[in-house]
Chain A
Amino acid sequence: MSNTQTYPKQYPFLTRQEFEVAAKSFLEQSKNVVGEGWIWIEHEKLKGFGYLSRKMIIQKVNDSSNEFKNEDITPLTTDDEQFDQIEEVEDPGVLNTSLETAVEYLIVDYHIIYSTSYKVPVLYFNAYHNDGTPLTNDEIYSCLIQPSRLEDIKIAGFHGGISQQDHPTLLIPFYYLHPCETATLMKSIVDIPRSTKSNSDYNILQNKISIEGYVRSWLSLVGNVVGLKIEIDYFL
């Protein structure tokens, strides 16, 4: 953990510059403490418009009891039956079992991007099959958001919920957790109940979250909702 700590000028909001500091501090924490494969991706043209990115491979959940199971799930990867096969020479050195047949793996992209309008970080995510075909809405829910976590969405105060819009940099559709409640959430975790304060210090936040600690605190609250756990190591 960094020794020098600065505080956002307008907590719970971050300026873009503060966001970049927050993101890069988080990146350092992720490297030094557990290192989970986060990287900072600079915008191709605009300096200061970069974002944090992380890739994860998860196993596809095929829960038959899931209510979303039978809706609209059509396989998007198919074999091209219309093509001739190719003959290869006999190869004793190849292992002839396919991992694919047993379990399906999904690639999940998580991006942390600054929202100019809400002045907070926003968690974008998307999940793909091995060939890049996207998951359906239902699969997103059943694979990333396990039923037990649906309650978390409410607890974490995501009244805006999960929506889809174009990724601000990549310009392709991404899911994201709507940031309309993020500031309230970040404020609520540092607020001391009114009753325990005297009138004189009513306007003073007793505890603040530093810019350097902002992303990990925020992510520890919201990441879990969409399958992104923040290890306790980040806080040690």
Chain B
Amino acid sequence: MSSSPLLQFVTFSSAVEATFWHTLSTRKIDLYKLDDTSHDVLGYYSTGRTVISQHATEASISMPAHLCLGTGAFDDANEESFSRLPPFSYPSIGKIKNTNTIEDFKGLDKTSLFKEITEQIWQDITSGEAIKNPYLITRFLLLTFADLKKYKYHYWFGFPALLTEPPWSVSENGQIKSIGDSWEYNEIASFRENYDLFRKHSGANAGFFLVKKSSQNEFMIGSLSEWDTFFENCHDNERIVGFADPSSLLTNPGWPLRNLLVLLQRHWNVHKIKVICYREIPGKKDISQTRILTVEIPDTTTISDKCPKSVGWEKNSQGKLGPRSADLAPLMDPKKLADTSVDLNLKLMRWRIVPDLQLEKIRETKCLLLGAGTLGCYVARSLLGWGVRHITFVDNARVSFSNPIRQPLFFFEDCLEGGKPKARTAAENLKKVYPGVITEGHDISIPMPGHPITSESQVRSDVEKIKQLVESHDVVFLLMDSRESRWLPTMLGASMRKLVINTALGFDTYVVMRHGVKDQHAASKSTDAYSSKMPKVDHLGCYFCNDIVAPIDSLKDRTLDQQCTVTRPGLSAIAGAYAVELMISVLHHEKGPAAPADTNDDPSSAASTPLGIIPHQIRGFLTNFNNLLIIGQAYDKCTACSDKILEEYKINGFEFLKRVFDSPTYLEELTGLTKLHQESEAAGDFDWDEEDTEL
């Protein structure tokens, strides 16, 4: 007897469903408010089971002894709410104490709260209430603090188990057998059928029961309250108690048995009894994992009228006796929800259509949008669509009454009182579209060649700011409405080898292009998708490479209709979208901004990126709804990106820029264009067509 091994019980482990936290939050806000008195909660548990793996390589899974709190946890404990619990589960009543502050939570007299529940269990046992309603012996305690601002939930469960002195041990040298090793097949079947019947009419109390063998070798089931009559003609060793056992371990029954044994000892002076640890595979009519054992304590053991000591605080994931905290922000914080949804949406593209899509790279790409007008707004929206998180606007204008109808980041209110600054307003409104975006707006005028400087200190600081912005971003979008304002960022982008995407609009025509960056590791032979019709271009040009005139003041002699960009309204949405898609494709090329241009638009041939080809320039004509892909070679006399200019900027810095801004002819002189003009005029055999300023 003294050699019998101790009976060790598996503790409950808590499982809280997200809906429980949701309900707690709404009740805290709408119902409890600052009232922090305790409330009843309704939990449940199911019997333990081990899922035997179908595959030899996978281990079998022993289900943990979960005590669950779900949606209906705050319903009053009655037959109706019990019936709404998941099938094959058993109720357990808890007390929740939700504090108003974290300090209150820390300062709770946890020991006395735990003792309160312990005493409640003890009282139900001594009064006999627990015989009528044995589910009361599984009472538990839940301490919580709900940080509703951060969606963080601090919580701690206690499952009081009354201690018996000395503890229970397992008879027959600790033998714990499976039901199949103890009983015959038809005995098991009759037990199962009778238990099913018992469960149907016992409701909440089906978790604890009596079992005996009838004269017909059939196993009968009774409720605890029937003890005296049920076991009337039974010998002590023919009495069996059963309980729905949340444990799935072969050698250890679950927590509810502890208080059941105290109840048996207290009321019927039980010192030794056979126990059925009822475990089923829900709905499979399979109870083969049920365990049977005999437990005992010395028959001299008495139980006093005083409430015994108790244990049962749940440990945290470190195995220490301390609270846990759950971060529900991803489910509850609207901003996080937006993040998740955006992320999911984009990932679908990768999971389903383009497995090589580099979403992380796109997300990390920092985009500088020079111009927060029609193009700027559309480009920003398309970038958001791709999950780009860093978008910076630069513009010097204010929102005017004509803007909102064409520029989707502005509203009527933004035009009032002289209009808000466009760049900052675009950033603010972009955040309204998606709060997860990192965005700011800078009210800066971009200095332009041929526009003489009025305040040198102002221009110096503007240039410095623009330089810093280009430097701190990965992609620069040129979305302004004049040609010459593109010069400085084009030059800066070329000198810093940034990806520059340039978009310009005519009335019904547009150009979307990327500026070339010289490939420093150019292979002698290209493997990219070239069609033989096109000459090979090793360094792609910029916006100014095709021009043989330097940018000068094109705004000076314009009439009003020329100063506004007069375009077909759909054009900027089209061109803006092309600009963004071009950027995305370039990001997918291993050479990035230095990627050679593809001209092969034959869909059957291999493309250079997972998303298809990367053109240099897209020129579109809305008159006949047509696009042309064009390649332009970098021009060694280019006024913006030629080595000569970049070298000059490198050496003379702001002094060089100042001369450019002040003198309309300086750039042409420097690059040798002046000389070229003179030569061609001397040759005199053709005229240069004045090109559309925006094309």
Contacts and interface: CB of A to CB of B under 8 A. Distances in A.
Interface of A: 30-31, 34-39, 41, 55, 57, 59, 71, 76-89, 91-95, 98-101, 103, 105, 107, 109, 126, 128-134, 136-137, 141, 150, 153-154, 161-164, 170, 172-173
Given A79-B322, A98-B319, A130-B15, A164 B341 contact: yes
A30 B10 CA distance: 31
Contact of A131 (B8, B9, B61, B324): B324
Contacts of B284: 34-35
Nearest to B59: A103
Interface in B328-386: 328, 330-331, 337, 340-341, 343-345, 347-348, 351-352, 360
B11 A39 contact: no
B19 interface: yes
B13 A99 contact: yes
B163 A93 contact: yes
A94 B168 CA distance: 11
A85 B320 contact: yes
Given A83-B323, A94-B9, A173 B331 contact: yes
Contacts of B62: 99
Contact of B63 (A77, A89, A105, A131): A105
Contact of A101 (B6, B71, B84, B319): B319
Contacts of A154: 352
A100 B282 contact: no
Contacts of B337: 173
B245 to A, nearest CB: 13
Counting chain A CB atoms within 10 Å of each CB, the highest count among B9, B15, B68, B161 belongs to B15
B18 interface: yes
B320 A172 contact: no
21 contacts: A36-B283, A77-B317, A78-B325, A79-B317, A79-B318, A80-B316, A85-B320, A86-B321, A88-B311, A89-B311, A93-B9, A93-B258, A94-B8, A94-B11, A95-B249, A105-B63, A131-B14, A133-B331, A134-B328, A136-B340, A150-B351
B16 A131 contact: yes
A78 B239 CA distance: 46
Given A37-B88, A79-B317, A85-B321, A132 B326 contact: yes
B134 interface: no
B61 A59 contact: yes
A95 B9 contact: yes
Given A77-B324, A133-B18, A35 B343 contact: no
Contacts of B315: 98
Contact of B311 (A35, A91, A150, A164): A91
Contact of A172 (B22, B61, B252, B318): B22
Contact of A164 (B20, B63, B283, B344): B344
Contact of A57 (B19, B63, B311): B63
A173 B340 CA distance: 10
Nearest to A141: B351
A76 B330 contact: yes
B283 A35 contact: yes
Nearest to B21: A132
A233 to B, nearest CB: 10
Given A77-B317, A77-B324, A77-B325, A134 B8 contact: no
A83 B322 contact: yes
B66 interface: yes
Nearest to B319: A98
A89 B163 contact: yes
B18 A163 contact: no
B317 A163 contact: no
Contacts of B406: none
Nearest to B8: A95
B610 interface: no
B313 A170 contact: no
B684 interface: no
Contacts of A80: 154, 316, 322-325
A134 to B, nearest CB: 5
B110 interface: yes
B167 interface: yes
Contacts of B110: 86
Nearest to B105: A83
B57 to A, nearest CB: 12
B303 to A, nearest CB: 15
B49 to A, nearest CB: 10
A83 B106 contact: yes
Given A131-B16, A170-B19, A172-B331, A161 B348 contact: yes
A80 B10 CA distance: 24
B111 interface: yes
A93 B327 contact: no
B236 interface: no
A106 B8 CA distance: 26
A101 B284 CA distance: 29
Contacts of B311: 88-89, 91, 94
Contacts of B39: none
A137 B283 contact: no
Contact of A91 (B21, B61, B63, B163): B163
Nearest to A74: B327
B283 A37 contact: yes
Counting chain B CB atoms within 10 Å of each CB, the highest count among A76, A80, A89, A100 belongs to A80
Interface string B11-41: 1011111111110000000000000000000
A100 B61 contact: no
Counting chain B CB atoms within 10 Å of each CB, the highest count among A37, A98, A132, A137 belongs to A132
Contact of B330 (A37, A57, A133, A161): A133
Given A79-B322, A154-B352, 17 more contacts: A34-B283, A34-B284, A55-B86, A76-B326, A78-B325, A78-B327, A79-B318, A83-B323, A85-B322, A86-B110, A86-B321, A92-B8, A105-B64, A130-B64, A161-B348, A162-B348, A173-B337
Interface in B544-571: none
A86 B154 contact: no
B536 interface: no
A136 B347 CA distance: 12
B319 to A, nearest CB: 6
A83 B99 CA distance: 15
Nearest to B163: A91
Contact of A39 (B87, B111, B318, B319): B87
A16 to B, nearest CB: 22
Contact of A93 (B7, B16, B322, B325): B7
A100 B317 CA distance: 8
Given A79-B322, A80-B323, A92 B18 contact: no
B91 to A, nearest CB: 15
B267 interface: no
A92 B327 CA distance: 34
Interface in B264-322: 282-284, 309, 311, 313, 315-322
Nearest to A167: B19
Nearest to B24: A132
B13 A126 contact: no
Contacts of A170: 19, 22, 71
